[in-house]
Structure 1
Amino acid sequence: MEDEKRLGIVGIFVEDLEQADGVNDVIHESSSIVVARMGIPYKEREVSVISLLVDGTADEINALTGSLGRIPSVSVKSMLRKDK
C-alpha cells in the first residue's frame, strides 16, 4: 500500500556551506518524519555530511529528498527498508 509508513535512511552531502540554512529549513519542514539526525562537518574534504533516519510514507520521504536535491551544491540519496 502506498500509505504505509516505511523506515529509511537519507544521506546528504552539502558541498557549499552557504546552502546549509536551506538544507536545515527543508529538514525542519519534514520534522514529523525525521526520527534522528547526525551531521558531520568534514573540513579536510570541504563538505558537510548529514544522515537522517526517517519514518514516513514513500511520498513523504520522496518529497523530502526531492526538495533537498533541488538545492544547489547538495547531493542526496535515500534507502528504504524493504516491506515484510
Structure 2
Amino acid sequence: MEKRIAILGIVVFDREASAEVNRLLHEYGEHIIGRMGIPREGCSIITVVMEGANDTINALSGKLGRLKNVQVKSMMAK
C-alpha cells in the first residue's frame, strides 16, 4: 500500500480521556513521525504527524474521534 503523510489535530476537553488518547497514540507509534502537545485551561491540544497507509491513518483518527470529550480532524498530503 502507498504511504501518505498526515497531520492529526486532536483536542481533548477532559483530562480523563488523556489516558485513552495516549494509549491509542502508543499503539500507532510506529507510524508517528512527530507529536506536539499544548496544555491549556479547559482543553489540551495535540498535533500528530504520521506516515502510513490510508487505512491506518483513518483507523487511528476514527478511534480517537469516538472517544468522549475528544475531537479530531485529519489532513492528508496527496
**Shared fold (TM-score greater than 0.5)?**
yes
1:19-72, CA deviations, whole angstroms, 9 ceiling, x for partnerless residues?
Answer: 1000000000000110000000112xx100000000000000001001101110
Query: Are residues 1:81 and 2:58 paired?
Result: no
Q: Who is 1:6 aligned against?
A: 4
Aligned residues: 78
Mark the runs of 5 or more structure 1 residues left unpaired by the alignment. Answer: none
The residue correspondences of 1:1-84 to structure 2 (distance < 5 A) are 3-43=1-41, 46-82=42-78
Q: Distance in 2 between matches of 1:28 and 1:16?
A: 19
Q: Which amino acid aligns with 1:18?
A: E
Could you say which structure has the larger radius of gyration?
A: 1
Mark the runs of 5 or more structure 2 residues left unpaired by the alignment. Answer: none
- Percentage identity across paired residues of the two chains: 46
Q: Distance in 2 between matches of 1:57 and 1:32?
A: 12
Misfit runs of 4+, over 2 Å: none
Q: CA RMSD in A?
A: 0.5
